[in-house]
């Protein structure tokens, strides 16, 4: 049975600050206890809270998504919620959910402590949207003098708009238009929920996953040729991780997080094998609309990519 151990420690040198050290699994069975401990820390006056994620071996999107409301609660109490040292598989989920736009996620305990001791800089602002207009599927929100605050119509988090313009929610990508007098209109994106998969490096398993990913964007405007190209790119990624990162070990595992957005398939991949570089994935780098590779600071590879129809 999955469990989560939680230990609270004071953080010297910062008033109202503490470290919450987590060890185990953060998912639906352990979520209630975790959220209760966050509430208790805040109510006890520790409104500046560091979450040590190094010992969290697995965290699902539901549990991490619950941190959005907690981040708002700590901010409203005059403090901040900061995460540090997430494992690659957890960092993958944080990245896909866009949670780095809502609170600080730092690589080490020293950097997290230094951040709080320097005063922090928590904000909950939406990001500027690249599209010039929100979708026609629009509903109205409240109007008022800047800054204007509104609840996201897509995921419910609190947003703050400091000036007129076009924005996207950092969590669910709902699109907003804000007028010069503070009126806010928004529309929800047609996004699916993230799909989390842990794959073994068995060739049959990887072959089935390649076909699965190739079938996902069938309803999103991708041609048959584009879907076949996507299968080849995913096949290369799986094969390179199996043969080069893990030396052909069929029992090795890696994590994938993927999301079908409107006319876009986004993927994140994390392994714990030998560090590689972007040249190890020539087919994927050439085919994907966006492709980024970076070695993990400790061991392994992190891939971030997206494909949109041509």
CB 194, CB 93: distance < 8 Å? yes
What residue spans in the chain does CATH classification 3.30.565.10 cover?
Answer: 195-307
| Phi, psi angle pair for 72, to nearest 5° | -65, -40
What is the side-by-side strand order in the sheet with 195-200? 195-200, 253-261, 264-271, 301-307, 290-295
**Higher confidence at residue 124 or residue 186?**
186
Helix residue ranges per DSSP H, the chain? 28-43, 61-65, 67-76, 88-96, 109-117, 203-215, 224-240, 282-287
Measured N-to-C along each axis, helices 28-43 and 67-76 cross at an angle, to the nearest 10 degrees, of 0
**Higher confidence at residue 69 or residue 208?**
208
Banded pLDDT at 220 (limits 50, 70, 90): low
Please tell me whether the overall predicted TM-score, pTM, comes out greater than 0.95 for this model.
no
**pLDDT tens digit sequence for 145-181:** 788 888 877 767 777 777 887 777 766 667 777 888 8
Residues ≥6 apart with Cβ < 8 Å to 52: 19, 20, 21, 22, 84, 85, 109
Q: Which CATH number fits domain 4-117: 3.30.750.24, 3.30.70.260, 3.40.50.2300, 3.10.20.440?
A: 3.30.750.24
In this predicted structure, which of 29-43, 55-69, 150-164 has the lowest mean pLDDT? 150-164
What residue spans in the chain does CATH classification 3.30.750.24 cover?
Answer: 4-117
For every residue of 55-121, DSSP letters joined together read EEEEE-HHHHHTHHHHHHHHHHTT-EEEEE---HHHHHHHHHTTGGGTS-EESSHHHHHHHHHTT--
Supply 110's token pair: 């020293």
**pLDDT tens digit sequence for 72-104:** 889 888 899 999 999 887 887 787 676 776 778
DSSP 191: P
How much is the pLDDT for 283?
96
What CATH number is given for 195-307 in this structure?
3.30.565.10
Q: Return d(Cα 155, Cα 172) in angstroms, integer.
A: 6
Distances in whole angstroms, Cα of residue 154 to Cα of each of 63, 95, 128, 169, 174: 18, 18, 16, 8, 6
């Amino acid at each position: 049975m999955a469990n989560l151990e939680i230990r609270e420690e004071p953080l010297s040198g910062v008033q109202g600050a503490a470290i919450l050290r987590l060890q185990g699994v953060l998912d639906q069975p352990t979520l209630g206890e975790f959220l209760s401990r966050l509430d208790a820390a805040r109510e006890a006056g520790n409104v500046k809270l560091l979450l040590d994620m190094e010992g969290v071996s697995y965290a699902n999107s539901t549990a991490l998504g619950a941190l959005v409301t907690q981040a708002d609660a700590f901010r409203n109490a005059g403090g901040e919620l900061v995460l540090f040292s997430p494992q690659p598989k957890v960092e993958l989920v944080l990245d896909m959910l866009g949670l780095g736009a809502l609170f600080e996620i730092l690589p080490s305990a020293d950097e997290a402590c230094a951040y709080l001791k320097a005063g922090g800089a928590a904000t909950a602002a939406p990001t500027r949207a690249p599209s010039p207009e929100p979708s026609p599927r629009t509903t109205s929100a409240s109007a008022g003098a800047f800054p204007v605050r509104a609840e996201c119509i897509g995921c419910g988090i609190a947003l703050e708009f400091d000036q007129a313009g076009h924005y996207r929610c950092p969590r669910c990508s709902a699109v907003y238009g804000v007028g010069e007098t503070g009126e806010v209109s928004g529309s929800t994106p047609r996004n699916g929920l993230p799909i989390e998969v842990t794959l073994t490096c068995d060739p049959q398993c990887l072959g089935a996953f390649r076909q699965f990913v190739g079938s996902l964007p069938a309803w999103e405007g991708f041609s048959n040729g584009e879907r076949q190209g996507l299968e080849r790119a995913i096949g290369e990624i799986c094969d390179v991780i199996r043969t080069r990162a893990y030396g052909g070990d069929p029992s090795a595992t890696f994590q994938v997080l993927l999301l079908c957005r409107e006319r876009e398939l986004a993927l994140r991949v994390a392994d714990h094998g030998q560090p590689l570089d972007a040249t190890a994935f020539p087919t994927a780098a050439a085919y994907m609309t966006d492709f980024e590779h970076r070695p993990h600071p400790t061991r392994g590879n992190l891939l971030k990519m997206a494909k949109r129809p041509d």
